[in-house]
Structure 1
Amino acid sequence: MTEQARKLFKEGVAAFEQSRWAEARAAFLAALALNGHYTIRGNLAAAELKLGRYRDATEHLARCVREMAEDATSTAEERARGEAAYAEARAKVGTLVVRTKVDGARVFVDGTLRGLTPLADPLFVEPGAHTISVEHEDYETKKMTVQLVAGGQIENGVELRQRSAGAPPPKRLDTTMAPLARGAEEHARDPRTALLIGGAATAGAAVVAGVVFTVLANANASDAEEQRSLLHQEGGLDACKAPGAPPRCTELKDAVAARYDFSNAAFWSFVGAGTVGVGTLVYGLISRSPVNERRVHVAPLVGSNGLGIGVRGGF
């Protein structure tokens, strides 16, 4: 996994240097899934800044700077560069610092779970109004609305009051899926509608996975073509058949194999997206009886021995 992460990281760096920001981000995301080193996280944030994904970039840089400060092997130059990028990103978003004396409380921003107290880093949001909720089974829920501007920061010390004996605990929010758009809440109460929404979300996630794998396949194809061209300049591909073949032959073989693996993963991701999408459409047209609500999760999987998409849940 470490070796595969290193290859993906190099592909991300190469794409970044050629101003292919989306491809660089895709490669860095895949590398980060295999290795959580702050160097990968920092480069991912750099690509996200170029793409205007300021909240994502700020979250990655916050953790990058924190982990870099804890690492005795990081250099002063690295830390200064990370701090500068972090400051640039924070100027584009709103910063919310939530503190409470109660550990293990769930902090929600606009209905999405963002962490448990104590939070290691601040919360970053797009400029505008946001609803904050802090919940714990043993305490009364605390809710507030804040207005944040780009570069602004609000610090909230939240005091949670002990829940009275016999009072029902707060209803747990479903954090496995993004919040429904306004106006869809009533329809979501129907299990059939929930299943249709889950199917559509699954198909969409599979399409995203296919796009990521296609980008990585194209990057490896470009690398393979470059290695092949250099080998021709150095004497041709016949050198790879002789004993003691140059290292470039191994690099060419690895690039071709990676391109093949990523292409297969992209193909099956799109096949899965089409299958789920058609199945959801057919179900929506012919189904009449109620079904139990299901939650389905799809995510791209990248490993040293194979590629694909992971699906968890059921229909």
Structure 2
Amino acid sequence: MIAAPDIAAAQPAAPREASASADAATRADAFFRRGLRLYSDGKYVEAESELQSAWELSPTFDVAYNLGNTKYQLKKHREAAQYLSHALRHWPLMKAAAKLKPTAEKRLAESRAQVGALVVTAGVAGAEVMVDGKAVGKAPLEGEVFVEPGEHRVEVRLEGYGPASKTVKVAKGGTAVAALALPPLQSEGQEAAPGARAAEGGSAPGAAAGAPVAEMPPAVPAYPGPEPQKRSWVPVIALGAASAVGLGVGIGTTVASNAASDDAREQSAAIIQGRGQCVRPESAWVGPCEQVRNDASRADTLGNVARVAFIASGAFAIAAATYVLWPKPKRSESAVALPVVHSDGAGIAVMGAW
């Protein structure tokens, strides 16, 4: 027989137990070898009987694999799926067995497609699981329980608990889940819980006899409130940079405006010294008078630009200071401070929701 390598050494057995175990292993090996010969000869019915006997004495993966193959040849797909799935769950890491694994997986898939599968949970370890009145193992089950398509009655039982059952329907090739909960039994003399005594007509401590007992609602933890958001310095940096740019533009345009104004004054003085005038200038003074008007207009325009730049610079500086000094908003609050600039001045607009 092909056997999986030992993982841990077993404790020494008593002489009688060791003798019985060795005898069972010898008999199982004999059944197994006869089953393999019969299988090779195509005598699947006889091979099934021999391998079944080997399984009852030694439920190892190699017996499960060959018994599953035999069931597969006999078109007993439900049993084939059960034994082949067991073999694959316990497949050893052996080179000699590796080449057989694809066959097991292929035949399991083919058998699995012809039957249904049940996934049974009992909630309590050790509970006996029964399908259609037949015991299939103890919870938690090692794998799926393969059944014929249709309705099936699933039951779980365990001493100290009430039984639980459920009828499930499974389709061909499908899987159904039967999740069962075992209710614990109350032993005699065990004091019932306060809620149970009240339900049975008793009174809770502190309540008048016969008075209804109100069920206290579960305590709700106090809501600590939204956490304050962390202050971001990106807006401060951006607003400070914008204020500096506005200040620079204001200074630059002020200097340019003053230069243009000086040019206009000098040109006007030269016209006056030459006994000219620009109200109705003579042809000799038309060009100089036009230059005076252009310089004056340029000085006025640059002066307006400088004023707007200074206002914007101040507005950005105020916005940065407001952002820094404004109380940190909660997560449920959202506030935005924006500078408002116009020709007459500037300010801050605060928009948000509280």
TM-score, normalised by the number of residues in structure 1: 0.47
Greater helix share, 1 or 2? 1
- Of structures 1 and 2, the one scoring higher in RCO (CA 8 A, sep 6+) is 1
Instruction: Find the structure with the greater CA-based Rg.
Output: 2
